[in-house]
Chain A
Amino acid sequence: MFDFVQQLVNGIAVGCIYGLIALGFVLIYKATEVVNFAQGELMMLGGFFAFTFMTLMGLNYWIGFLLAVICMALLGSAIERVVVRPILGYPQFSIVMATIGLGFFARSIAGMIWSTDDLKIETPFSESVTENVVRIGGLVIADDKVSIIVATVLLCVVLYFFFSRTRMGVAMQATSQNMLAAYYMGIPVKRVFSMIWAISAAVACFAGILLAPSTLIHTNVGFLGLKAFPAAVLGGFGSIPGALVGGIIIGVIEALAGFYLPQGFKDVAAYIVLLLVLWFKPEGLFGLKMRKKV
């Protein structure tokens, strides 16, 4: 029973990262109905930027964090301008492929610039494993895990209110439903696009930095992005709380599968769940059911 709870907690921590990456997908999807397959790579770049600012330039953790997030936000809107905008309005598959290409490119370029070794950054949460833990009863949770959980929940809450309460958030939802109508209503659609890419890249940067203590920074971190798809689908693509809940469920299932099932199931558990969700409830837990039109 104790093992079970410990696995559950570990699963939740991992799941929060999936949720955070899934949040990036969901934001872009919610606002522009584009799926960004390079989200994992944006996260990787965020980690590398943080490494540059914190370790190479020796800045304070929080300043480095802020600078990395700003850089990623700028990069996000630059990507939108260069790669995504020219193919807007074409079938979704074009954008899917373009972002996959972008992911390839980012991974290789990052490897060339920062080398393909494992890099480390000094964070307030990872200095020594024995001291920086939170104990609840007999449970042991490392500080970096706690930081991930807290940051993810905070980000989700902030973004949820951004989308449902602010003018810009509502404008983004309108853009997602019908770009042309939104444009007629005076919504600056282009600005919405670059803004949402900036936000999404910034969220990816958050994920990359929070993840750095537990997985280190290397070029293949981006593949975690593929694990976030099941999370986004499970939560219902386009729902912010859904991304978080989906991520946590996937993380927990993965942790439990790794603990109780034979070897090998851990890696595919997320995808099996994904196929089951798509088979039985394609709109996900929190998704809206849409009616078909010609």
Chain B
Amino acid sequence: MRFIFKTDYDQDIRLLKHSGYWWSYGVLAFLLALAPFVLGGYLLSQLVFVYIYAIVGVSLTILTGFTGQVSLGHAAFLAIGAYTAGFLQSLGVPFVVYFPAAAVITGAVGMVVAIPALRLTGIYLVIATIAFGFIVEEVAARWEAVTHGNEGMRVRTADLIAGINLPRDEPGFYFLCLGTLVAAIVLALNLARSPTGRAFMAIRDSETAAKSMGVNLALYKVKSFTISAAITGMAGVLFAHKLSFISPEMFTLVLSLEFIMVIIIGGIIGLHGAVLGAVFIVMIDPFLTLLKDDVPTLISSLMLAFGAAEQTAAGVASSIGDIGAAPGMKGALYGLIIIFFIIFEPYGLYGRWLKVKLYFQLFPLYKKATFKRQKTYVKSERNR
């Protein structure tokens, strides 16, 4: 067990709180830097998707985790970022210009969206952001001069500076995504320990209390939406380059739900959650493929090895394969995962990690009630 002797107020807000952080994050950074040279193309590609989802996860953590404003329309911000990249690229604008430009434009849209959202709380905000998502999807399908409508549009390889290309399967692009993710995380961490971040959290905990302490609700909600949208816009640029083709049907409500799942599965209480959740979500597809292809053969060969009849083994294998291959399996799995996490693991994977860590830190004295959430039956959210 580690006791930290505090001698300085700054220690409370330091990002790397003690030497353990240097070690663990150092090893992680080393492994991630090594990854593109060790891993195969498929895994590397999945890792890039993890980064992109994690960037959106960070942006949602700022909006939902810090400020308490729920958005089910983040796919729309991603779309705006992606289309900005595609359109500006087709005009011949270099990557270094349109990457920040996409962030600025998406941020501006986020600001505009935030203004009507100021008056909304709870489900109304959820519904309004869903509506926003639909409208953007429809605009992307109809505004053919810019988006090429339902035909979709090609996004060429990113030109970093004259002559230096970042093909989407090369380490260069990998490091671009990793760098953006790290930048987003550092931004969010710094935000969380700044007055702005504290105002966000005050709004999340009680709007009325925050207001009476002099927090300008409108200003900070708009700020939160803008920052979140801008980060998502950058993720959108990376997303466009990674897929090299974008069309309106990619940015549906389901994608927004996947983003929300990222933070629910990962845990809304910290930025670790965004990354863990992104890993989880991106792994669902390979997992289903595994269930379809490899697990049945593995199980049947195991059963044969343990002396089961050949027919039963084949039968079990094919039924497992059927489960994996069933149409809509992904949707059912998504549904079950959401319900499972909401009911049993409300703080997500990161929350589980904190619980395990605390259990060992306080070994014989750990109490389950430490992480118990308070249930309130009295407060009617309509009256808030």
Contacts and interface: CB of A to CB of B under 8 A. Distances in A.
Say whether A associates with B.
yes
Nearest to A115: B327
Given A102-B335, A274-B127, A292 B383 contact: yes
Contacts of A146: none
Given A97-B260, A100-B338, A278-B119, A108 B376 contact: no
Contacts of B124: 233, 237, 278, 282
A35 interface: yes
B328 A107 contact: yes
B286 interface: no
B161 interface: no
B343 A271 contact: no
- Which of A105, A112, A226, A279 has the most B CB atoms < 10 Å from its CB? A105
Interface stretch (A55-63, A86-94, A149-157): A86-94
Contacts of A135: none
Interface in B340-384: 342-343, 346, 373, 375-378, 380-384
Contacts of B330: 108
B15 interface: no
B245 to A, nearest CB: 22
A264 B142 contact: yes
Contact of B343 (A83, A177, A264): A83
Nearest to A38: B335
Interface in B100-137: 116, 119-120, 122-124, 126-128, 130-132, 134-135
B206 interface: yes
B331 interface: yes
B331 A108 contact: yes
A49 to B, nearest CB: 18
B283 interface: no
Given A92-B381, A278-B124, A104 B135 contact: no
- Which of B141, B253, B328, B337 has the most A CB atoms < 10 Å from its CB? B328
Contact of A35 (B123, B138, B327): B123
A274 B130 CA distance: 10
Nearest to B328: A108
Nearest to B117: A278
- Which of A33, A93, A282 has the most B CB atoms < 10 Å from its CB? A93
Contacts of B134: 226, 267-268, 271
Nearest to B335: A105
A97 B260 CA distance: 9
Interface stretch (A136-144, A158-166, A178-186, A203-211): A178-186
A129 interface: no
B96 to A, nearest CB: 35
Contacts of A238: 382
Contact of A104 (B119, B142, B334, B381): B334
A96 B124 CA distance: 11
A92 B123 contact: yes
Given A108-B335, A178-B378, A279-B119, 9 more contacts: A35-B123, A97-B342, A100-B257, A104-B338, A105-B339, A108-B328, A111-B327, A237-B124, A279-B116
17 contacts: A92-B122, A97-B260, A97-B264, A100-B257, A101-B339, A108-B332, A111-B331, A112-B328, A179-B378, A268-B134, A271-B130, A272-B135, A274-B127, A274-B131, A278-B127, A292-B384, A293-B383
Interface of B: 70, 116, 119-120, 122-124, 126-128, 130-132, 134-135, 138, 141-142, 206-209, 253, 257, 260, 264, 326-332, 334-339, 342-343, 346, 373, 375-378, 380-384
